[in-house]
Chains A and B, each alone.
Chain A
């Protein structure tokens, strides 16, 4: 029965209203509540312009009529309910669309440049406006992952990992716009699917189809590492010329029973790896020991860590995105499960500025922007791709990027609003 519930509304300082309980109709929705707030603000301030608000009850976004929400959340209608309201997040605005020659397997962007890895065996550097700056060719197979090591105004160091089992460390001279291969990191026995550089920029780790993780030094040197010469090496050397000096791994971490799909550094000396054997493992990079394992039900395609909320987000082949606490002692504890995709989730990425937001790309061609406080539905669906989405990225400056099998890289501008929770 449509009884009215008593509510108090809290908000940010900008849109403050009196802290007085209100009576609102039970069937009111977000738009109705929004109107209410705006009326209150207009009454207080003469030239107040209409602003859309979004409402949170107990940390959950209100997405349905108030009474249905309260029923599902078992909130009694007798008591006074506190509702927070925040300025509604604007949709990300599409900015650029960069065309490639083949599928885009990975993308990583910084303040000024975008680095993409492509299935045509090259990695490319683009400007934020979409202009092609550099094409980095050298691999003999598809490039599966790319990463920046460090940048300064003169030269940048970057890595590209490929299905030809090697990782190449490149130096890019910005001024002259020339790129040179410094090191060729050999050691994997299968396609290298994922690389991650640590926060100091001196080390990086790689995960591959041979079920191993290897840690390498990212500092360019002039020596070549000794490598065991396999019997076929001389034959291969004649076919392809060596790019850069050979480098061998500093350490190899083994423990996964299937291919490693994604790696990242969650701490200064801690590596997190997600694999096709349904587990996410946390390793100590110094000793090489396995610290803990989080077990799931399905293959993990991608994993991302947010130091702001200290949570791991994982994308799996069962179309869910799960949030984990890596510090939990007891095996596996899924904190939250975000379901909306209708295909495998191939990549997830947390926002570097907002502790509750993340984007995910999936094989159903859609990139979804989520707020973890509203776990029933994503905030926005970015359905621009015509084919599978293979990689996503989020920069500090508020740029969302997604690359897919339709050879296109889309960039969206998403204003970085500070997390605004009131008293």
Chain B
């Protein structure tokens, strides 16, 4: 059997009646009808003699005669009888009830309502409790209540009539307010009897009444009033009426109020104690942080330690050179005094006060471990000789030149020394715990008179002859330059609070700076 599949589709085959072919096959070649002209006679003979005539069908598609198979004949007969086409189908299978005919006790569709219809919902309870927990933990924040106060829009806040854009924007001119009338200018003196005045005042207000577009005058003292007005639409416009300020300034107010001397106490008023013992000029003093001891250095080449309350000289330390400056370490747990003797700075443990403290200081100094590599330092650090140790000296810092001043940092580890020459090595900062010194300045800005550390913040004050420069130690840069109006600054001191600095100069002027205020002196006292 050839596979002749006609590709013409579902068309009436009568169209190919007159043609020799009946369509085309898959390759596009015509499918010719079988060459056999069947006339009536042939057809009659076939009908009579062909036993399979009753089961022969002409295939319209291919034009060929097809003999039906037995199954096909069965199928045709079944269909003709009106039975189901498929042989395997059994129309008499037993029925399965979806809904049974028996009466059960539980209804299927009409069952009564569950208990959960009547009690509060459990799922909702769970959800609510999750929300509550979230609120308690702060994961969900409650909504802020909306503020219903009316917001005012000040249209004329940035009014600039000269700007070009000002003309372009939708320009609503400010409404002209009624000039203050009698009720605003009424400014009675305060009544001696408060009860009476409040009554009269309430009467006055009551008499005014309110109306749409009413003016509510808010306080006035003659200089200018703020009037708020409500216009027809209910938007409140607020503006300042012209400030009619009279020049009635009391000249007494212009003089700044200086504090009474009593408020500035303690300052010295009387001499209480005289500490006798030095044989020459006493150049410098320093007091211990506890206030119990005083150290002084003098031109007689000694350093003396005194008990403050009785003026008793507790110890005398001969140092073999003129002492220019002494400074007691402000850290109360460290017992050290820095002494400037000619070309070196000595760190002395005075061994006064709590034994545990000065013992601990000694231990701290002895526990120093030198770093492995040699550091280049501008000065030399050396431990004291045995003889010096017996006197109390612990460390000697040898500078090349005469040292003018030494001062400690508030924490007690760093100290700065000033050398008396005009180079960039004038100021040196040393660290006791690491025995390391550094020169913080590359260029010299003038002859340095004295230096100071800020007691609390990381600032370093350097006073040269005319200016005081404030450096920030953390940022390592100049913060401020204070202009003292003095020709030659001699000394500088800072208030323990850290906000005020006083500079004294050789031309008998005292400049008081408020650091927060400005770089010019707050006051110049002569």
Contact = CB atoms under 8 A, between A and B. Distances in A.
Interface in A89-145: 103, 105, 119, 142
Interface residues of B, number: 18
Interface string B295-324: 000000000000001111000000000000
A240 B291 CA distance: 28
Contacts of A325: none
B291 A190 contact: no
A327 B311 CA distance: 35
Nearest to A297: B265
Nearest to B354: A189
A103 B306 CA distance: 14
Interface residues of A, number: 30
Contact of A388 (B270, B310, B356, B363): B310
A301 B270 CA distance: 17
Contacts of A103: 310, 312
A232 interface: yes
Contacts of A105: 310
A319 B270 CA distance: 10
A23 to B, nearest CB: 46
Given A119-B312, A190-B353, A301-B309, A276 B359 contact: no
A301 B290 CA distance: 16
Interface in B255-313: 270, 272-273, 290-292, 309-312
A337 to B, nearest CB: 16
A394 B363 CA distance: 47
Nearest to A209: B292
Interface in A311-331: 317, 319
Nearest to B262: A297
B353 A191 contact: yes
B272 A210 contact: no
Given A209-B292, A232-B363, A276-B291, A164 B310 contact: no
B178 interface: no
B311 A388 contact: yes
A343 interface: yes
A344 B363 contact: no
A170 B55 CA distance: 152
B4 interface: no
A54 interface: no
A402 B360 CA distance: 39
Contacts of A49: none
Nearest to A317: B272
A235 B309 CA distance: 31
B355 interface: yes
Contact of A165 (B272, B291, B354): B354
A263 to B, nearest CB: 16
A319 B271 CA distance: 11
Contact of B355 (A164, A258, A276, A319): A164
Among A190, A236, A261, A405, the one with the most B-chain Cβ atoms within 10 Å of its Cβ is: A190
B54 to A, nearest CB: 131
Contact of B272 (A190, A232, A343): A343
B305 to A, nearest CB: 12
Contacts of B310: 103, 105, 388, 390, 405
Contacts of A210: 354
Nearest to A258: B291
B273 A344 contact: yes
B119 to A, nearest CB: 62
A236 B359 contact: yes
Interface in B355-385: 355-357, 359-360, 363
Given A276-B291, A388-B311, A236 B355 contact: yes
A164 B356 CA distance: 11
Among B273, B291, B355, B356, the one with the most A-chain Cβ atoms within 10 Å of its Cβ is: B355
A343 B354 CA distance: 29
A259 interface: yes
Among B272, B291, B309, B353, the one with the most A-chain Cβ atoms within 10 Å of its Cβ is: B309
Contacts of A209: 290, 292, 353
Interface string A7-41: 00000000000000000000000000000000000
Given A344-B272, A363-B272, A232 B354 contact: no
B363 to A, nearest CB: 7
Interface string A261-281: 100000000000000100000
A227 interface: no
Contacts of A423: none
A230 interface: yes
B292 A191 contact: yes
A103 to B, nearest CB: 7
B360 A232 contact: yes
B291 A363 contact: no
A363 B356 CA distance: 32
Contacts of B360: 232
Contacts of A191: 292, 353
A279 to B, nearest CB: 16
Nearest to B269: A318
Nearest to A301: B309
Contact of A189 (B272, B273, B291, B356): B356
Contacts of A343: 272-273
Contacts of A258: 291
Interface string A48-84: 0000000000000000000000000000000000000
B292 A259 contact: yes
Interface string B335-365: 0000000000000000001111101100100
A57 B309 CA distance: 40
A295 to B, nearest CB: 15
A405 B272 CA distance: 15
Interface string A366-390: 0000000000000000000000101
Given A103-B310, A344-B272, A405-B310, A232 B353 contact: no
B262 to A, nearest CB: 10
A390 B310 CA distance: 8
A232 B312 contact: no
Nearest to A405: B310
Contacts of A388: 273, 310-311
Interface of A: 103, 105, 119, 142, 164-165, 189-191, 209-210, 230-232, 235-236, 258-259, 261, 276, 301, 317, 319, 342-344, 363, 388, 390, 405
26 contacts: A105-B310, A119-B312, A142-B312, A165-B355, A189-B354, A189-B356, A190-B290, A190-B292, A190-B353, A190-B354, A191-B353, A209-B290, A230-B356, A231-B363, A235-B359, A258-B291, A259-B290, A261-B309, A276-B291, A343-B272, A343-B273, A344-B272, A344-B273, A388-B311, A390-B310, A405-B310
Given A231-B363, A405-B310, 14 more contacts: A119-B312, A165-B354, A189-B356, A189-B357, A191-B353, A210-B354, A232-B356, A232-B360, A236-B359, A259-B292, A301-B309, A343-B273, A344-B273, A405-B311
Interface of B: 270, 272-273, 290-292, 309-312, 353-357, 359-360, 363
Kindly list the 9 A-B residue pairs having the minimum CB-CB distance in the complex, ordered from nearest. A232-B359, A189-B354, A344-B272, A190-B354, A209-B292, A230-B356, A343-B272, A363-B273, A232-B356
